[in-house]
Amino acid sequence: MKRSLLALAALVLLAAGCGTDGDDPAASQEPKIIAAFYPLEFVAAEIAGGNAGVTNLSPPGVEPHDLELAPDQIRSLAQADLVLYIGEGFQPAVEDVVGELSGTAVIDGLEAQDELIEGGDPHEDEEGHEDELEEGATDPHVWLDPTRVASLGHAVAAEMERIDPDNADVYEDSAVALTDALAGLDEEYSAALENCEDNELVVSHEAFGYLTERYGLEQVGVSGIDPESEPSPGRMAEVAEFAREHEVTTIFFEEQVAPDIAQVIADEVGAGVEVLDPLEFPPDGGSDYFDVMRTNLDSISSALGCE
């Protein structure tokens, strides 16, 4: 059950007074950045360059959309120098607490963007209410477009320069280096997806709108922008018909979500299934944002018959 804003405010004030890092002078001097989930943690760490402590608020294995905050997590938010999150209801529990913070800098990753896109698939099931409710909602998945991650990096650097002016040059240089690396990734995507036999990306849920918009592809989601929304039978039939008409060879699903729905559609149209990672969880095995994005690129280019 969601706490009321009044209760949240009281809890934040209580948490802020329940202990400090005063016993550790080095810890108290180092700026503290709290990132709501992995992509924001990655950007923060790249910008900080070891000059600030960076913490991921979402525990391993917890779907960021479903995150509920424990008192110690609320305390960490209240004591942070900078909090990074994604608004528009992506993580309601985080958004509620962030709205009650005072004395803590906050960056909404969506507000770091010049323009946002809306969720909602053009082939929606007219009888399905789940998809209709999501139509027109802001798509929060900006981190799947490398150029938008660069914008977020510059926003973080600017705020850290204000918080920690002694290391301003480090933050600025880190933002430039991250932007250059992301520009290289963007060029890899553009080159790999320039000449493809197909351009329709059928996915289990609409997490890839910014990616498909950037590289001239069409996203068709079985579910909307909420990965836990259940598609209606009519919606599944509609996507299956689309996949059949366009001779789609691959139905993509998320590794953290059972492939059942994707497999049903794939079996019906004679397609295969493949993982496409929306990067909401920390990568396994020491991989990072760039590694996963390149793995995604390989999967997409193979599925679409790109030269």
Query: Per-residue pLDDT averaged across 33-48, rounded?
Result: 98
The arithmetic mean of pLDDT across residues 256-278, rounded, is: 92
Reading the block at residue 140, the tokens are 């929060």
At 74-107, the pLDDT tens digits run: 999 999 999 999 999 999 999 999 999 988 999 9
Check residue 120 and give its pLDDT. 59
Structure tokens at 99: 């709205």
pLDDT at 141 over 90: yes
pLDDT higher than threshold 60 for residue 15:
no
CATH superfamily placement of domain 194-303 = Nitrogenase molybdenum iron protein domain (3.40.50.1980)
Rg of the chain, C-alpha, whole Å: 21
Mean pLDDT of all residues in 163-177:
98
Written as six digits, the tokens of 174 are: 């880190």
Q: How far is CA 96 from CA 99, 209, 216, in A?
A: 5, 26, 36
Please determine, for residue 259, whether its predicted confidence score (pLDDT) is greater than 50: yes
For domain 5-185, the CATH architecture is: 3-Layer(aba) Sandwich (3.40)
Q: Say yes or no: do domains 5-185 and 194-303 share a fold.
A: yes
Per-residue pLDDT, 12: 52
Residue linked to tokens 């040059």: 169
pLDDT at 291 over 90: yes
**CA separation for the pair 144, 295 (Å, rounded):** 13
pLDDT at 226 exceeding the cut of 60: yes
Do 7 and 54 touch, CB atoms closer than 8 A?
Answer: no
Could you tell me the pLDDT band of residue 60, with boundaries at 50, 70 and 90? confident
* Rounded Cα gap, residues 305 and 307, in angstroms: 7
| Sequence spans of domains, the chain | 5-185, 194-303
Buried b / exposed e along 159-173 (16+ C-beta atoms within 10 A): bbbebbeebeebbbe
Q: Of the candidates 65, 64, 16, 25, which has an alpha carbon nearest to the alpha carbon of residue 41? A: 64
pLDDT > 90? residue 303? yes
More confident residue, 240 or 2: 240
Where residue 248 falls among pLDDT bands split at 50, 70, 90?
very high
φ, ψ of residue 100 in degrees (nearest 5): -105, 0
Per-residue pLDDT averaged across 51-67, rounded? 92
Task: Encode pLDDT of 176-212 as tens digits.
Answer: 999 999 999 999 999 999 999 999 999 998 999 999 9
Residue 157 · residue 44 · CB < 8 Å: no
pLDDT at res. 258? 72
Average pLDDT across the chain, whole number? 88
Helices (H), the chain: 5-16, 25-29, 38-48, 71-79, 92-98, 129-134, 146-163, 168-192, 209-214, 233-245, 260-269, 289-303
Residue 165 has what pLDDT?
98
